[in-house]
A and B are shown apart, each in its own frame.
Chain A
């Protein structure tokens, strides 16, 4: 009897704590969603207004204030370009490093990991000068190149782990049947690794989409991304939170959906390159 009562008390405490935790972690997201649908007057009301008639005015305002479509196109171009380049470089690299047991392979893998750990600012300062000298500042290419530096290391590590988990026997069979190494990779290993490649691609896309620092310095007026566009809704004179929330929702929604699709892989992906050794 006493045991059961104690267990019930424990359950009540657990649920109370979980509610509190969820409240903390969901509150800013709920605020963002609600504010994007609030009339401007309610967005600044104190005490905060929680019940109101949702409107889409803010989204309309934002499209009038900021060239959202152009920024969307820029964000997409840069994210897709970065994803393509990182995969083209990283997938074969991951394959090579997974199927080689030499010390050189281990060292190159560690070298790539070291770059992933470096803070972007440290690379950004000299990279900015190099891009300026090559007259590439303000182009898509400048942003894509530097984002690919960080993401290629990610793809390499992820694919190294993935290829590692695939048995090499099938490739060996293909090789003895007279396939070239590339043939074995292209016809045997790669098709088996499609789920891994897809995951790496979606992660790279998300990282690039969410990036702010690199496009801020390397992109130009015509190549500006959505993450930069958000700041344009907040001039020094006027903080338009309702408008900011609307463009924020536009920015967040695609990656939130991708994150939902990636659910089972998400934590592993974010910790990749550290847990795998």
Chain B
């Protein structure tokens, strides 16, 4: 602190004389971000505020009078009482758990397989990028075709293997959600695998040599050395995927439309349907605010986990 006394005196003199200037100095280069922030204010935060506002109204676009009747918390209470919304919320959480779980385990397995310098490994790495770049809507349509009960290639080979699914994987309520999870697993496991592979690659060989000298088996080296070191990246991968799976829309819209029944209805799709197909804007806004709260909770947990790990890159 000692060396700062002069500067502090100086600074307070400046502050007394020209507070605006001091303020500007403290902000430094922040004005450079001002256009972007202003843009966000107009096209992200204003709409979000508007969403909060209309969530307290009964506002239907199909109503010819376009009356907006204040109803207080009615839309929120309606959401909690709405069985379809409850199923959608449950499905969203179930979907996240299943998809992220499978992607993490499978991704880790692929990363370990590709970690050793075998001939062909670089080629496999390159080819694994293809699902990541593919347009999600095309991916969804391809899987819808593959799953088709009558002409679907996937369904056909399942039948050949002796697995009979009545109306096809996406036609039966018991398998439809899992079928959609597989689409997500297909598109995004490579991301998790390649992230974890980068993490494994950055681990120094010395540690493993030391472990080997101490008599650790290959399995022990993985379990006791590689995996704990990988934990920061593992958590980041897990949480990125969690955030993204909460945004799931394209495949639900194209492959199942939320059905059969409500078997694959997730929050995003139900909100979309309520707002932009049935035009019940107040209710849709209330539900999307609830979704934001749910994601906010996850984001907060995420930042805490990252902060605790001190992940920097």
A interface residues (Cβ-Cβ under 8 A, vs B): 11, 14-15, 17-18, 21-22, 24-26, 28-29, 31-32, 35, 44, 46-48, 88-90, 92-93, 95-97, 99-102, 104-105, 108, 111-112, 114-115, 117-130, 145-146, 148-149, 152-153, 156, 181, 185, 206, 209-210, 212-213, 217, 227, 230-231, 234, 239, 241, 244-245, 248, 251-252, 255-256, 258-260, 263, 266-267, 270-271, 274-277
User: B249–A248 contact, CB under 8 A?
Assistant: no
Q: How many whole Å from B240's CB to the nearest CB in chain A?
A: 5
B129 contact set on A, CB distance < 8 A: 259-260, 263, 266
Question: When the two chains form their complex, are residues A112 and B311 in contact, meaning their CB atoms are under 8 A apart?
Answer: no
In the complex, are the beta carbons of A277 and B311 less than 8 A apart? Answer: yes
Q: Does B186 contact A (CB under 8 A)?
A: yes
Whether the pair B37, A252 counts as a contact (CB closer than 8 A) is: no
Interface centre among A101, A118, A185, A244 (most CB of B within 10 A): A118
B31, B133, B240, B299: the one within 8 Å of A259 (CB): B133
Contact A120 B130 (CB under 8 A): no
Mask, B186-216, CB within 8 Å of A = 1, is: 1001110011001000000000000000000
CA distance A105 to B129 in the complex (A): 34
B271 contacts the other chain (CB 8 A): yes
Contacts of A26 in B (CB 8 A): 127, 130
Taking the complex as formed, is B118 at the interface, i.e. its CB lies under 8 A from any CB of chain A?
A: yes
Give the distance in Å from the alpha carbon of A146 to the alpha carbon of B42 in the complex: 11
**For residue B250, which residues in chain A have a CB less than 8 angstroms away from its CB?**
212-213
Query: Is A108 in contact with B142, judged by CB distance below 8 angstroms?
Result: no
Q: How distant is the Cα of A48 from the Cα of B311 in the complex, in angstroms?
A: 49
Beyond contacts A89-B35, A119-B247: 11 other A-B pairs, Cβ-Cβ < 8 A, are: A17-B113, A22-B127, A28-B143, A96-B29, A102-B28, A127-B43, A130-B46, A130-B50, A210-B135, A234-B141, A277-B313
Closest A residue to B294 by beta carbon equals: A119
A-side binding surface: helix, strand, loop or mixed?
helix
Q: Are B28 and A114 neighbours in the complex by a CB distance under 8 Å?
A: no
Min Cβ gap A242→B in Å is: 10
Is A14 in contact with B113, judged by CB distance below 8 angstroms? yes
Given A125-B276, A206-B133: A92 and B306 within 8 A (CB)? no
- Which residues, 113 to 131 on B, are CB-close (under 8 Å) to A? 113-114, 116, 118, 120, 124, 126-131
* Nearest A-chain residue to B145, judged by Cβ: A241
Q: Are B299 and A128 in contact (CB under 8 A)?
A: no
Partner of B27, one of A100, A122, A181, A260: A100
